[in-house]
Amino acid sequence: MIVVRLLFRFLLVPFAASVAICVAMLFVIAAHWNRFVALAGTNPAPPDDAAVFLLLLAPALVMSAAVVAMLAPAAIGALIAEAFAIRSWMFHIANGGLSAWTGWLMLEDVRKPYEIFNEPLIVAGAGIAAGFAYWAIAGWSAGFWKPMLEQPLGSDSTALNQTRR
């Protein structure tokens, strides 16, 4: 049973990290929606695929360096959560916010030409949203060795005592 749970964690944790990255990117896109619309309006006759590229792929390309810089501290926090079976939503949200903040600080030279990275509140908000998304998928059941649904210690002994009477 423990081997199956370990294999399940090896699949669930990367999936949750991927969803968390997408949630962070969507948060940044929503926070900078007016800037993206202004960029789309600068070209009077864009091709049909330009809107899809501008709204979905361009932020992904710009944020790829940020994702790598922010993913390393978040991965360390996720490994700590898995190793010690930390299932607190506060831990995962703090991990997301701190890893985004750390990545933002490490990218000082890279973020200067891009307006998207100049607002630390949006970057921290994206990290918090990503941390919550990770917790919702994989963090609430962290730790492959700890059972997800624990029975209280007193419930078994109470049932045992009632059957003896």
Q: What is the pLDDT of residues 42-57, one digit of tens each?
A: 666 655 666 666 666 6
Does 155 fall in a domain?
no
Q: Is pLDDT of 37 > 70?
A: yes
Q: What is the pTM of this model?
A: 0.71
Tokens of 84: 């010690």
The answer as to whether 154 is a domain residue is no
pLDDT of 139 over the 60 cut: yes
Would residue 157 count as lying in a domain?
A: no
Instruction: Judge whether residue 160 has pLDDT over 90.
Output: no
Position 119 in a domain: yes
Answer whether residue 27 is part of any domain.
yes
Q: Reply yes or no on whether the pLDDT at 132 is more than 70.
A: yes
Q: What angle do CA 85, 86, 92 make, to 5 degrees?
A: 135
Q: What's the pLDDT tens digit per position in 10-32? A: 889 989 998 998 898 889 888 88
Q: Is the pLDDT of residue 94 over 90?
A: yes
Distance CA 32, CA 9 (A): 34
Query: Cβ-count burial of 65 within 10 angstroms (0-12 exposed, 13-18 middle, 19+ buried)?
Result: middle
- When divided into structural domains, the chain yields a total of 1
Residue 91 CB partners (closer than 8 Å, separation 6+): 77, 81, 139
Domain hosting residue 117, numbered range: 9-37+59-144
Amino acid found at 105: L
- Residue 76, pLDDT > 80, answer yes
Structural domain includes residue 102: yes
On whether residue 50 sits in a domain, the answer given is no
Token pair of 161 as six digits: 């005592």
Q: Is residue 2 part of a domain?
A: no
The overall average pLDDT reported for the chain is 77
